[in-house]
C-alpha cells in the first residue's frame, strides 16, 4: 500500500507537485496519468526516496520513506524511466548486483533469473555487456532485476516505452499476476489503451495537482458515457 | 565544397565551444593557458640548447641540414603518435558518428569535418616544438626572408602527411581487421599505447642524459653515422624535401623541393579523401553492435552467486574502471605511470647510479629514510584519480544509490575500497623500487605499514572532495577529469598536512630514532584517518541524498 499525504514539491521558480494526496491500495494496478511536465516523475522520485519529501508524508507499506527509508525501500521494486544504467556490466552481473543489494538467496535468484529472462527473451544475452543492448532489452533487464526480490510495492515509470509487443504483453501479464497476489502495482504512462486495459484505478495529475482519482467507470461516468479515454484525458488536462 | 566547409565549421564549433561548460572548467582552461607560458619557455630553452650544440658540431663540416631533417622526422613521428588517439575517437568512437552517417553527406565530406579538430590539435604541438626550432635554425644560419617564408609554409604543411598516413592506416585497420566489435578494447589499447609512449620517451631521455651535453652527444653520433639519418629520411622522404628546401632556399633546388613539399601535402589530402570515400562508412557501420557470446545454462547458473553487498559493490566499481576506456587510462594507467617511471629510471641507469642512490639512501639515518619515503609516497599517491572521481564516475546513474535499500556509508566505503585497491597496485610497483634500493627489511616493513595508511587516507580525502563538488552531469566520461582541479586540490591538501609534519620530524632532533619517528607518523596518520572519517560521515549526511536534486 502507498499513502501520499499532502505532498508538495517546489523547485526554484515552480511548484512541481502541489498538495498531492492519494492512497494506492494493495492488490490493485494503479495507473498514474498526466501530460509531460505534470509532476508524475517527481512524485515517483519522492515515493522511491530519490528526491526528498519536504512537505507532507509518503508511506510505503507502512514505512515512512523519510523516517524509515531502508525498510520502505526494501519493499519497493522501482523501474526508472531511464534504462541506460550500469552499461559496462554484463546482464548477468547487473542482476547479481541487484540481487545482492536486496539480499536474494542464491537458489531463489537462480530460479527467478532463469524464469524472467526467458519470459522476456533476454536469457541468451545475459553474458553480454548492457552497453550492447537495445533500448527495449535494457528496459527488460531492469524489469527482471526488480522482480528478483518479489517487491510488495512495484513502481514503474513509463515501463512500456520501447518494448516490443510480446514483451509488452508479458510485462502486463506479470503486473496483473503481481496484483492478484495482493501486491501493489503503481505505474505512470502515456499509453491510454494500456490504462484502459490494465488499470483497476487511475489518477490524473496536471500542473502538479490531482485532477481525478477513481476507477475507469467513475471516470467515464463523470464525463459523457460514450467518450473514449483519449477524449476524457484531453478534456481533463486541457489547461496543461 | 560549401557544404563541406559548413560541416567542418559545425564540427569545430561543436567540439570546441565553451557553451554549457561549467565555470570551473572555463577557469581550468585559463589556468592551463597561464601554466603553458613557463612550460613553453622551458621547452624553448631545451630546444635552443640542443640545436645550438648540434649546430656547433655539424656546421663546420656542412652537415647542418641533418638538424632540420632530424627535426622533421621527430615531429612527424610525434604527430603520428598524437593522431592515433584523436583520429580514432573522432572518426569512430565519438557519440555523433552515427548521426552524421544518416545525413546526406559523402563519406569524404564527413572525413574532412571529423579531421578538423584532431588536425587543429596537432598545431598545438607544432607551435611549441617545430615553430621555435625553425626560428632557432634560421637564426643560426643567418637566414634571409625567403627562409622564413618557406619555413612558415612548411611549418603549416608538416602535420598534413603524418596525419593523413595515420588516418589512412586506421581506416584500413578499422575496415579490414574488423576491430569495431571490440570498441572498448581498442580504446584501452590506445590508452596503453600512450603509457608505453610516455615510458619510451623517458627511456630515450635517460639514455641520452648521461653525458653533460646531450645535444653534442647526439650530433657526434649523427656525424659519425650520417648514413643513419639518410636512412631515416629515406623512409620518410617529406622530411628530406623539407630540410633541403630550407637549407638552401635561394637555389633552384631549394625552390623545387619547396614546391614539391607543397604538392605532396595536397596529394596527401586528396589521397585521404579518396580512401575515406571508399573505406570510412564500411568501418563505421556496425560499430554500435557488440560481441555475442552464448553461455551454457550450467555455466550461467554458476555465475549466479550470492555475495556480500560491500564486495559486490566493490567489484562493480572495479569493473567499471577497468572496462570504461576513459576511466582505465585516466585512473589505472595514470596511477601506475609515476611508480613505473621511477622503477624504469632505477633499472635503466646503466651508469651504476642505482648502487649510488642505494648507497646514499642507506647511508642516511633510519629516521631520514622513513621521512623521505613517506614524503615520496604521499606525492606518488596524492592525486589518486580513483578517489577524486569516485562520485563523479556514476554520473546520471547516481540516483540508483538513492532508491536501493543500501546505507550511504556502505556505498561510499565500497568506493573508497576501490580507490585503495588501485593505490595498492601502485604500492606494489613502488615496492619493487624499494627492493631495488636494498633498504633494510625493517625499514621496508615500516614503509609498507605507513604507505597503506597513507593510501587509505588519500582515498578518503579524494572521495570527500569529489562528494563535495562532483560532476554528475557529464555526457562523455572524459568530462569527469577534464577542466577539474580536484586532483591538484587533493594533492595540495595532502602536502599542507604532511609537509609541516615531515619537516618538524626532520629538523627537531628531539624526535630521533626510527621507532620514535615511526610511532609519531603512525599516530598522526591514524588521527588523520579518524578525523577524515568524521568529515566524510558529515559530508555523506549533508550531500549524498541531495546531489541528485541539486
User: Per-domain residue ranges for chain A?
Assistant: 2-236
Distance CA B439, CA B458 (A): 25
Total-model pTM = 0.73
Interface contact A97-B316, CB threshold 8 A: yes
- CA angle at residue B529 from B524 to B531, to 5 degrees? 95
Tally of CA atoms within 13 A in the half-sphere of B213 that contains its CB: 16
Walking along chain B (550 residues) 10 residues at a time, the average pLDDT comes out as: 85 73 69 78 83 79 78 86 82 76 85 90 87 88 87 92 91 71 66 69 58 54 56 73 83 87 92 90 64 75 90 94 84 85 72 65 76 89 90 91 93 96 92 84 91 95 93 83 82 90 82 83 95 96 83
Give Cβ neighbours of residue B84 (< 8 Å, ≥ 6 apart): B166, B170, B190, B193
In total, the C-beta contacts within 8 angstroms joining chain A to chain B are 106
- The residues of A whose Cβ lies within 8 A of any Cβ of B are 45, 48-52, 69-71, 73-74, 76, 78, 80, 82, 85-86, 88-89, 92-93, 95-97, 99-106, 109-110, 113-114, 123-129, 131-132
pLDDT reported for residue B87: 86
pLDDT reported for residue B99: 76
Q: Which residues of A touch B303 (CB under 8 A)?
A: 92, 96, 127
Which residue of A87, A99, A101, A150 to mutate against B (max B Cβ within 10 Å)?
A101
- CATH for A2-236 is 3.40.50.300
pLDDT reported for residue B183: 64
**Which of these, B453, B470, B324, B316, lies nearest to B387 by C-alpha position?**
B470
- 3-state SS, residue A199: coil
Q: Which residue from B290, B304, B545 is facing A110, i.e. has the nearest CB?
A: B304
Q: How far is A183 from chain B (nearest CA, A)?
A: 19
Q: Which three cell numbers stand for residue B62?
A: 656542412
Give B431-489 as a DSSP string.
Answer: HHHHHHTT--HHHHHHHHHHHHHHHHHHHHHHHHHHHHS-----SSGGGGTTT--HHHH
Q: Is the ipTM of this complex over 0.90?
A: no
**pLDDT tens, chain A, 240 aa long:** 999 999 999 888 889 999 999 999 999 999 998 888 889 999 999 999 999 898 999 999 999 999 999 999 999 999 998 877 788 889 999 999 999 999 999 999 999 999 999 999 999 999 988 988 888 899 999 999 999 999 999 999 988 888 888 888 999 999 999 999 999 999 998 777 788 888 999 998 988 999 889 887 777 676 655 566 677 777 767 654
pLDDT reported for residue A83: 78
Burial grade of B509 (CB within 10 A; 0-12, 13-18, 19 or more): exposed
Q: Which residue from B290, B293, B548 is facing A50, i.e. has the nearest CB?
A: B548
Q: What is the DSSP letter of A87?
A: T
Which spans in B18-64 are helix H? 23-58
Q: Which residue from A74, A96, A128 is facing B405, i.e. has the nearest CB?
A: A74
Q: Which residue from B320, B324, B405 is facing A102, i.e. has the nearest CB?
A: B405
Interface contact A110-B301, CB threshold 8 A: yes
Q: How far is A77 from chain B (nearest CA, A)?
A: 9
Q: Which residues of A touch B548 (CB under 8 A)?
A: 50-51
Q: For residue A83, give the chain B residue with the closest CA.
A: B397
Torsion angles phi and psi, residue A162, rounded to 5? 85, 0
**Which of these, A85, A42, A132, A94, lies nearest to B395 by C-alpha position?**
A85
Q: Which three cell numbers stand for residue A183?
A: 501486491
Q: Which residue from B319, B400, B402 is facing A85, i.e. has the nearest CB?
A: B400
Helix (H) or strand (E) holding B546: none
Cα separations in angstroms, B355 against B206, B342, B441: 17, 15, 17
pLDDT reported for residue B35: 77
Residues B131-149 as b/e (b if ≥16 CB within 10 A, e otherwise) read ebbbbbbbebbebeeebbe
Distance CA B341, CA B408 (A): 37
Q: How far is B307 from chain A (nearest CA, A)?
A: 6
Q: How far is A185 from chain B (nearest CA, A)?
A: 17
pLDDT reported for residue B433: 85
Give Cβ neighbours of residue B178 (< 8 Å, ≥ 6 apart): none
Q: Which residues of A touch B319 (CB under 8 A)?
A: 88-89, 93
Give Cβ neighbours of residue B91 (< 8 Å, ≥ 6 apart): B97, B111, B114, B167, B170, B171, B174, B280, B283, B284
pLDDT reported for residue A240: 44
Is residue A187 within 8 Å of A156, Cβ to Cβ?
A: yes
Amino acid at each position: 500500500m502507498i499513502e501520499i499525504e499532502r505532498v508538495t514539491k517546489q523547485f526554484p521558480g515552480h511548484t512541481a507537485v502541489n498538495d498531492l494526496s492519494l492512497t494506492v491500495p494493495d492488490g490493485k494496478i494503479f495507473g498514474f496519468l498526466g501530460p509531460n511536465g505534470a509532476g508524475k516523475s517527481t512524485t515517483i522520485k519522492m515515493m522511491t526516496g530519490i528526491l526528498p519529501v519536504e512537505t507532507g508524508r509518503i508511506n510505503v507499506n507502512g514505512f515512512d520513506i523519510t523516517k524509515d527509508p531502508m525498510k520502505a525501500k526494501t519493499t519497493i521494486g522501482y523501474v526508472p524511466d531511464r534504462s541506460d544504467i550500469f552499461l559496462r556490466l554484463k546482464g548477468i552481473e547487473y542482476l547479481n548486483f541487484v540481487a545482492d543489494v536486496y539480499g536474494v538467496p542464491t537458489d531463489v535468484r537462480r530460479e527467478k533469473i532463469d524464469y524472467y529472462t526467458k519470459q522476456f527473451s533476454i536469457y541468451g544475452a545475459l553474458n553480454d555487456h548492457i552497453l550492447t543492448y537495445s533500448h527495449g532489452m535494457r528496459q527488460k533487464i531492469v524489469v527482471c532485476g526488480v522482480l528478483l526480490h518479489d517487491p510488495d510495492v512495484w513502481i514503474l515509470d513509463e515501463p512500456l516505452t520501447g518494448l516490443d509487443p510480446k514483451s509488452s504483453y508479458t510485462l502486463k501479464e506479470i503486473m496483473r499476476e503481481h496484483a492478484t497476489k495482493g501486491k501493489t502495482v503503481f505505474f505512470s504512462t502515456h499509453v491510454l489503451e494500456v490504462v484502459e486495459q490494465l488499470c483497476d484505478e487511475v489518477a490524473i495529475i496536471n500542473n502538479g495537482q490531482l485532477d481525478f482519482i477513481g476507477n475507469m467507470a467513475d471516470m467515464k461516468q463523470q464525463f459523457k458515457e460514450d467518450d473514449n479515454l483519449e477524449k476524457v484525458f484531453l478534456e481533463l488536462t486541457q489547461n496543461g | 565544397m560549401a557544404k563541406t566547409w559548413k560541416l567542418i565549421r559545425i564540427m569545430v564549433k561543436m567540439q570546441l565551444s565553451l557553451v554549457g561548460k561549467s565555470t570551473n572548467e572555463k577557469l581550468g582552461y585559463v589556468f592551463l593557458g597561464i601554466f603553458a607560458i613557463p612550460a613553453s619557455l622551458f621547452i624553448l630553452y631545451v630546444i635552443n640548447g640542443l640545436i645550438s650544440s648540434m649546430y656547433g658540431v655539424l656546421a663546420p663540416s656542412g652537415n647542418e641540414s641533418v638538424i632540420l631533417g632530424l627535426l622533421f622526422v621527430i615531429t612527424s613521428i610525434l604527430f603520428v603518435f598524437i593522431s592515433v588517439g584523436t583520429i580514432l575517437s573522432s572518426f569512430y568512437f565519438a557519440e555523433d558518428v552515427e548521426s552524421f552517417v544518416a545525413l546526406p553527406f559523402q563519406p569524404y565530406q564527413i572525413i574532412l569535418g571529423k579531421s578538423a579538430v584532431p588536425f587543429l590539435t596537432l598545431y598545438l604541438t607544432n607551435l611549441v616544438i617545430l615553430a621555435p626550432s625553425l626560428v632557432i635554425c634560421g637564426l643560426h644560419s643567418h637566414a634571409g626572408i625567403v627562409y622564413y617564408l618557406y619555413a612558415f609554409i612548411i611549418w603549416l604543411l608538416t602535420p598534413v602527411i603524418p596525419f593523413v598516413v595515420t588516418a589512412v592506416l586506421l581506416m584500413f585497420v578499422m575496415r579490414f581487421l574488423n576491430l569495431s566489435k571490440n570498441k572498448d578494447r581498442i580504446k584501452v589499447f590506445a590508452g596503453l599505447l600512450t603509457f608505453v609512449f610516455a615510458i619510451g620517451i623517458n627511456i630515450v631521455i635517460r639514455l641520452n642524459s648521461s653525458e653533460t651535453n646531450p645535444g653534442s652527444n647526439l650530433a657526434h653520433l649523427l656525424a659519425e653515422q650520417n648514413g643513419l639519418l639518410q636512412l631515416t629520411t629515406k623512409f620518410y622522404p617529406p622530411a628530406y624535401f623539407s630540410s633541403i628546401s630550407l637549407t638552401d632556399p635561394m637555389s633552384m633546388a631549394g625552390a623545387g623541393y619547396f614546391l614539391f613539399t607543397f604538392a605532396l601535402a595536397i596529394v596527401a589530402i586528396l589521397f585521404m579523401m579518396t580512401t575515406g570515400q571508399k573505406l570510412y562508412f564500411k568501418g563505421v557501420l556496425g560499430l554500435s553492435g557488440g560481441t555475442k557470446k552464448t553461455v551454457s545454462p550450467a555455466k550461467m547458473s554458476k555465475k549466479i552467486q550470492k555475495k556480500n553487498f560491500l564486495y559486490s559493490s566493490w567489484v562493480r566499481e572495479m569493473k567499471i574502471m577497468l572496462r570504461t576506456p576513459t576511466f582505465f587510462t585516466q585512473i589505472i594507467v595514470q596511477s601506475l605511470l609515476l611508480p613505473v617511471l621511477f622503477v624504469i629510471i632505477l633499472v635503466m641507469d646503466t651508469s651504476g647510479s642505482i648502487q649510488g642512490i642505494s648507497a646514499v639512501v642507506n647511508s642516511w639515518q633510519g629516521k631520514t629514510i622513513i621521512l623521505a619515503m613517506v614524503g615520496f609516497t604521499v606525492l606518488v599517491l596524492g592525486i589518486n584519480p580513483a578517489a577524486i572521481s569516485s562520485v563523479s564516475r556514476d554520473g546520471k546513474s547516481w540516483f540508483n544509490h538513492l532508491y536501493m535499500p543500501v546505507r550511504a556509508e556502505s556505498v561510499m566505503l565500497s568506493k573508497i575500497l576501490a580507490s585503495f585497491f588501485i593505490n595498492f597496485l601502485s604500492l606494489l610497483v613502488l615496492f619493487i623500487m624499494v627492493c631495488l634500493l636494498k633498504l633494510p627489511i625493517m625499514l621496508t616493513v615500516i614503509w609498507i605499514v605507513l604507505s597503506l595508511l597513507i593510501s587509505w587516507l588519500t582515498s578518503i580525502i579524494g572521495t570527500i572532495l569529489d562528494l563535495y563538488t562532483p560532476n554528475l552531469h557529464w555526457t562523455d566520461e572524459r568530462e569527469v577529469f577534464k577542466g577539474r582541479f580536484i586532483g591538484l586540490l587533493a594533492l595540495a591538501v595532502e602536502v599542507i598536512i604532511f609537509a609541516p609534519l615531515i619537516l618538524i620530524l626532520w629538523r627537531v632532533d628531539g624526535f630521533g630514532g626510527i621507532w620514535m619517528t615511526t610511532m609519531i607518523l603512525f599516530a598522526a596518520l591514524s588521527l588523520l584517518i579518524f578525523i577524515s572519517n568524521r568529515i566524510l560521515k558529515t559530508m555523506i549526511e549533508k550531500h549524498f541524498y541531495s546531489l541528485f536534486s541539486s
